[in-house]
C-alpha cells in the first residue's frame, strides 16, 4: 500500500494495491499488519459503518468529546469530498482542515485519527461510504461543528444545493463548541 501524509501529517491518504483484469478487481481494504507497518498506525477498529447518500448531502462535522473515534474512510460507489479538522486545542494545527476527494473507482482511503472532527459531502448522484472506527458510537458524547463555520473556512466544492440533517443545521460554530480535553 502507498501512504501519503496530508497537510495535517497525522491525516493520511491510503492507496491499497489493486489487482485488476478483465474480470474486475481485488484489493485488501484493511490489513492490520500492513496498516501498522506502512502507515505507522496501531489502530484497533471496533465498528464498521455504511452510509448511503444522494448528491449534495453533507454529513458533519462530527466528533465525540469522549470515546473519540479514528476513522478509515472508503468510498465503495460514487464520489465524495472528505474533510478532517484538527480540534485538539493543544495542537499546532488546531482549527486547520484538509479535504480530499474519494471515489469508488480510485479506492483511496482517508485515515482521520482521534481528535479530529470529520465530515463529507456527496459529489456524485449517490455514494456508498464504508468506514471503520476505533471506538464505539456514543450518542451522549457526540458533538458537531457547523459545516460552514467562517473561522474554519473549509473550501467545500460548489454544489447546486447542500442537504443537511436537522442536527447538522443546528450545529454551533467552533468558538461555542465543547471540545475533547
Active site residues: 62, 131
> What pairs with residue 4 in β-bridges?
13
CA distances for 23 relative to 26, 123, 165, angstroms = 10, 28, 39
Maximum distance among all alpha carbons in the chain? 53
Q: Which three cell numbers stand for residue 10?
A: 497525522
Contact 78, 103 (CB under 8 A): yes
DSSP of 159-173: -S--B--HHHHTPPP
Amino acid at each position: 500500500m502507498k501512504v501519503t501524509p496530508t497537510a495535517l501529517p497525522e491525516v493520511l491518504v491510503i492507496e491499497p494495491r489493486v489487482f485488476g483484469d478483465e474480470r474486475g478487481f481485488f484489493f485488501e481494504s484493511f490489513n492490520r499488519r500492513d496498516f501498522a507497518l506502512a502507515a505507522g498506525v496501531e489502530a484497533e477498529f471496533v465498528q464498521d459503518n455504511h452510509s448511503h447518500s444522494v448528491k449534495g448531502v453533507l454529513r458533519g462535522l462530527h466528533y465525540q468529546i469522549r470515546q473519540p473515534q479514528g476513522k478509515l474512510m472508503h468510498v465503495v460507489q460514487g464520489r465524495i469530498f472528505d474533510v478532517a479538522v484538527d480540534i485538539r486545542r493543544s495542537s499546532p494545527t488546531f482549527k486547520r482542515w484538509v479535504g480530499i476527494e474519494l471515489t469508488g473507482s480510485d479506492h483511496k482511503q482517508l485515515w482521520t485519527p482521534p481528535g479530529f472532527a470529520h465530515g463529507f459531502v456527496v459529489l456524485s448522484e449517490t455514494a456508498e461510504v464504508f468506514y471503520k472506527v476505533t471506538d464505539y458510537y456514543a450518542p451522549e458524547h457526540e458533538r458537531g461543528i457547523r459545516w460552514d463555520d467562517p473561522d474554519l473556512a473549509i473550501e467545500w466544492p460548489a454544489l447546486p444545493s447542500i442537504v443537511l440533517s436537522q442536527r447538522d443545521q443546528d450545529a454551533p460554530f467552533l468558538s461555542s463548541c465543547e471540545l475533547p480535553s
